[in-house]
Amino acid sequence: MTRTQRAYVETYGCQMNISDGELMAGILEARGYAIADRPEDADVILVNTCAIREHAEQRVLGRVAQLKGLKTERPDLVLGVTGCMAQRMGDDLARKAPYVDLVMGPDGYRRLPDVLDRLRDGGEAEAVPPALATVASPGSRKRGPQLTVLDLDTGENYQGLEQRRTSEVAAWVPIQRGCDHRCTFCIVPYVRGPEKNRDPHEILAEVAGIAAGGVSEVTLLGQTVNSYVAGEWSFARLLEAVARVPGIRRVRFTSPHPNDLTPELVEVMAREPAVCEQLHLPAQSGNDRTLKRMVRRYTVDSFLEKVEMARRAIPDLALSTDIIVGFPGETDDEFRDTLDLMRTVRFDDAFTYKYSLRDGTPATRLPEGDFIPDAVAQARLEELIDVARGIQAEINAGEVGRVEEVLVEKGARDPGHVLGRTRRNKVVAFPGDLSWVGSYRTVVLTSTTGATFAGERITAHEAVEVGG
């Protein structure tokens, strides 16, 4: 009898990639693999990578080189690199790291078990469906060739496959892959291909299964999640249907594109009790010329109109955003416009980045003189962070005393305390028991560090008094 093969998936990067890691684990488990918790216990190690920033790629290369050590003791071990960086670097990665057995982009996962079988059998690359094997070169492994699987598949949305979810608290549900935009700083369309949307009925069945398993919070996931469309189904219709699945108490979604924030969608967000009062709306810049050079396809005014529309419909809405500073050609005045946008909108939270050049993106073709010296970009980033944190601290200080429903996620750093999130996605630590993980507690916010809160649980009786 052959021993059960064990696979270990180590994921870097965004939530979409984490979700892909769960997808790969699910695909392998369905084909009889056991999922290992440590690379040392695995027969197959997959490093699932991110290509958004150079820094992330360097980190991954270092990690892969470290894992190579395990192959010295166990030559049968299969070491694979998957995800966006695998897609971006492709053959180059295969050449630079000849000890890697498999390089696979985000559209190849459905056939992952077959490709692993080929590798294990020492099969020649021709044995892999031709569309899969773009390079087959003798590798350092004793069993067979090194394979790279890099085709972008315009139809692959992983319909019919289920993830192996590990959280007992909240579930991420990918509803879309790829992106039809071409923001000039972004590598995503080139490593994940065009937008592909899943069947709404399959999504709803999956959400019903998640709820039946006792998980009541779901986040719908897509690169431009609100551009989702499948036949008669708009994103607004899908969101409404997901919010009405019995057992689902909280629904979030990320990341929407501002242009697809329609009145219909905002109306569903305001009307459906399960849809959380939270919106992550990436602005990227507060200057029209920069937005145009980024090809974001909106202006500062039209972004502000979307914010106003959402806040009019949902007055208690918590808003967060993404901002890039130091985009090529950004002048100091243009950067100041971004600070103005921050002060005008007053986001509850902001994810801030310094522009980082990615090979293969349109921004690489901008004139060399446009590129901002790192010291300047760094200074802008620090100023932006100061402004964003100051605004966040003011907003949160004004929320001390509020009574919130908190979904407990895990133990907090302080013993005897737990950590959870409010509907508005604010993090709260409060005295509690680990047995509360996955359940809801009513909590009064007693203080804030600026970014997160401390709280005290209150009983139903006290809640009426505080609320009344």
Dig out the tokens for 451 from the structure: 């970014």
Q: Is 358 in the site for ligand SF4 (CB under 6 A)?
A: no
Q: Is 198 in the site for ligand SF4 (CB under 6 A)?
A: no
Q: Which is nearer to ligand SF4, 163 or 176 (CB)?
A: 176
Rounded to the nearest whole angstrom, what is the least distance from the CB of residue 178 to ligand SF4 in the complex? 9
Alpha carbon distance 275, 27 (integer Å): 30
Q: Which stretch binds ligand SF4 (CB under 6 A): 74-82, 184-192, 366-374, 402-410?
A: 184-192
Dig out the tokens for 216 from the structure: 């009541």
Q: Which residues contact 459 (CB under 8 A, 6 or more apart)?
A: 442
Alpha carbon distance 343, 260 (integer Å): 24
# residues contacting ligand SF4 (CB under 6 A): 10
Alpha carbon distance 248, 216 (integer Å): 4
Of 21, 83, 90, 189, the one binding ligand SF4 (CB under 6 A) is 189
Q: Which stretch binds ligand SF4 (CB under 6 A): 91-99, 177-185, 270-278, 393-401?
A: 177-185
Over its C-alpha atoms, the chain yields an Rg (Å, rounded) of 23
* Contact positions with ligand SF4 (CB under 6 A) in 204-243: 223-224
Q: Where are the beta strands (DSSP E) in 198-244?
A: 217-221, 229-230, 233-234
Rounded to the nearest whole angstrom, what is the least distance from the CB of residue 229 to ligand SF4 in the complex? 15
Q: Which is nearer to ligand SF4, 15 or 66 (CB)?
A: 15
Q: Is 179 in the site for ligand SF4 (CB under 6 A)?
A: yes
Q: Which residues contact 210 (CB under 8 A, 6 or more apart)?
A: 165, 171, 173, 218, 248
Q: Is 361 in the site for ligand SF4 (CB under 6 A)?
A: no
Q: Which stretch binds ligand SF4 (CB under 6 A): 15-23, 155-163, 186-194, 266-274?
A: 186-194
CA 105 to chain centre: 17
Q: Is 421 in the site for ligand SF4 (CB under 6 A)?
A: no
Q: Which is nearer to ligand SF4, 146 or 223 (CB)?
A: 223
Dig out the tokens for 2 from the structure: 């052959």
Alpha carbon distance 25, 44 (integer Å): 11
* Contact positions with ligand SF4 (CB under 6 A) in 247-266: 257
The values of phi and psi at residue 427, to 5°, are: -90, 130
* CA dihedral sign, ordered 140, 145, 148, 149: negative
3-state secondary structure of 127: helix
Q: Is 174 in the site for ligand SF4 (CB under 6 A)?
A: no
Rounded to the nearest whole angstrom, what is the least distance from the CB of residue 149 to ligand SF4 in the complex? 22
Of 81, 136, 183, 307, the one binding ligand SF4 (CB under 6 A) is 183
Rounded to the nearest whole angstrom, what is the least distance from the CB of residue 48 to ligand SF4 in the complex? 18
Alpha carbon distance 333, 337 (integer Å): 6
Can you give the binding site for ligand SF4, defined by CB under 6 A? 179, 181-183, 186, 188-189, 223-224, 257
